[in-house]
Structure 1
Amino acid sequence: MNYSGIKFLLGEIYDGMKTKQIIDKFKPIIKKGLNQFISEKVNDKLSAALKSSVSVDELDTKSESNTTEIDEPEVITTPEELESYTIVKVVLKDVIPLDRLFYRDNRSYFNILLDDNIRKWILRVRFNTNGMKIELNDLNCQIKLDKSSILT
């Protein structure tokens, strides 16, 4: 997580002056908290996926059909993408109810949506080998961050 992200989140929990020493002191705590939150969300998703198993009858019906399905590469949601979703939730917590925020991961970008509606996207995050690009809806604003500007 970068310096400004930690400083922003620290503003939500610490009222004093945010000096470099204070930020460095809270950095591992904030990072651990975000990692724990992301892990819990991933575990919840995995548990929900395991609970909703397909019955044998449905599998037989699919195998008997004449349509051929194209196997598309699986979309993998990364911890960085989930971290961006968490940051948006923190930013918007006083603006809208958090149960209206959703995310959808695609192969080329990560969407953060309002009311789980693809037409109401708030933010798109694109990660690649050079860094990341953040795109805000209705502002025609794209922010590019290269690897040198992102702290790990």
Structure 2
Amino acid sequence: MDLAARLAELQQRTLQHREVLLTEEAAKTALVMPFIQALGYDVFNPGEVVPEFCADVGTKKGEKVDYAICKDGKVSILVECKPASVELSINHAGQLFRYFSVTDARLAVLTNGVIYQFYSDVERPNKMDDKPFFSFSMAALKAGDVKTIEAFSKATFDIERIVKEAGNLKLQSLIRKELEHEFAEPSPEFVGMLAKRVHDGRVTSAVKDNFGKLVVGSIASLVRDLVNERLSSALNAASPKGDDDASSGEVDVDDIGISTTAEEISGFHIVQAIASRHVDPKRIIMRDAKSYCAILLDDNNRRTLARLHFNGITTKYLGTFTAKDEERHLLGDLTDIYKFETQISARITELESWKGDGAA
């Protein structure tokens, strides 16, 4: 199982259990240790992952960091954990600040099992920065996050490369926040800059006021277009259609009137994450139709794993299968799909046991 599949599985666990993990120990056991394992480290090897790591600093005696991840006998990463219900802040990183300067570690992680914040010494050598250079939420994992997380895995860990990239990641994060702010509420400076570029004549207060409204609308339109473009690309990647689709009988061959939504793509990825426990996630394919969105094993319309009935205005259903019989389950939220992991897993076992194509 590759890193993306392991993280998808951990994301499922996070969404299911985060509300009941009220203590630090619970978050460490249920979420943080599996994350360290997903990165390829052996949490049961004290020479590689040291729990309750202690390195007395000055007058601070007996203080401990939750985990120290070692490579070649030296501490590489320090990890400090908090309960899943706690909102992380720099005030929780006291031990990390102190230990950072007295160990070989140049990478520190502050986490509550859901949010992970990565720190280094980008601004001053051997002194941990007070702002993370990278952070992500396990509950809302993005494809770009997985690519960045891979750099911290045991197989590819290169601290010099990580620290070099950390500066760029930190700047990108700050730029992104500024852009998000400008997109939500364009500043007078931003509006004025755009007005000067496209307006012929003097930029008066009235011109700026008018441009302010136009900028907000233009940004919203641009974002919608970009999202639609990305969704179309994702659909094309997830739903390759061969010449034999016309005779499949499983989905409508006439694409007119078919509109794949963001919810359908998200639902597909949840089913794919569940299925990745049993089969290569690349074998799970989505094919949209007018009345439902089919999720297939091996891109075979006779091996239907599940169906997403998301066309209703107020109701959405997940269809699971036993042999040729479909059972529909009402979904209050997309994450409810995880409640039917047993049915999806059983269907995979059933499909894998069939000889040939089987029938669905």
Alignment TM-score, normalising by the size of structure 1: 0.57
> Any runs of at least 4 consecutive aligned residues in structure 1 with deviations exceeding 6 A, and if so which?
none
Identity of aligned residues (%): 23
Mind listing any 5+ residue stretches in structure 2 that lack a counterpart? 1-9, 17-26, 32-82, 87-111, 116-135, 146-226, 238-253, 336-360
Counterparts of 1:47 and 1:143, CA distance in 2? 27
Q: CA deviation at 1:11?
A: 6.7
Q: CA deviation at 1:33?
A: 2.4
| Correspondence for 1:78 | 261
Counterparts of 2:269 and 2:142, CA distance in 1? 8
| Residue pair 1:34, 1:83 contacting (<8 A) in 2 also | no
Amino acid at match of 2:319: E
Matched ranges for 1:10-89 at <5 A: 10=14, 16=29, 21=85, 26=114, 29-30=137-138, 32-34=140-142, 42=231, 44-45=233-234, 73-89=256-272
| Correspondence for 1:135 | 319
Alignment TM-score, normalising by the size of structure 2: 0.27
For CA contacts below 8 A with separation 6 or more, give which structure has more relative contact order.
1
Aligned residue for 2:14, secondary structure, equals helix
| Correspondence for 1:144 | 330
Aligned length: 119
Matched ranges for 1:89-108 at <5 A: 89-108=272-291
Q: CA deviation at 1:99?
A: 1.8
Mind listing any 5+ residue stretches in structure 1 that lack a counterpart? 1-5, 49-70
Do the aligned partners of residues 46 and 134 (structure 1) sit closer, same or farther apart at CA in structure 2, a change above 3 Å counting? Answer: closer
Do the aligned partners of residues 95 and 103 (structure 1) sit closer, same or farther apart at CA in structure 2, a change above 3 Å counting? Answer: same
Higher strand share: 1
Aligned residue for 1:42, secondary structure, equals helix
| Residue pair 2:285, 2:296 contacting (<8 A) in 1 also | yes
| Residue pair 1:113, 1:120 contacting (<8 A) in 2 also | yes
Amino acid at match of 1:98: P
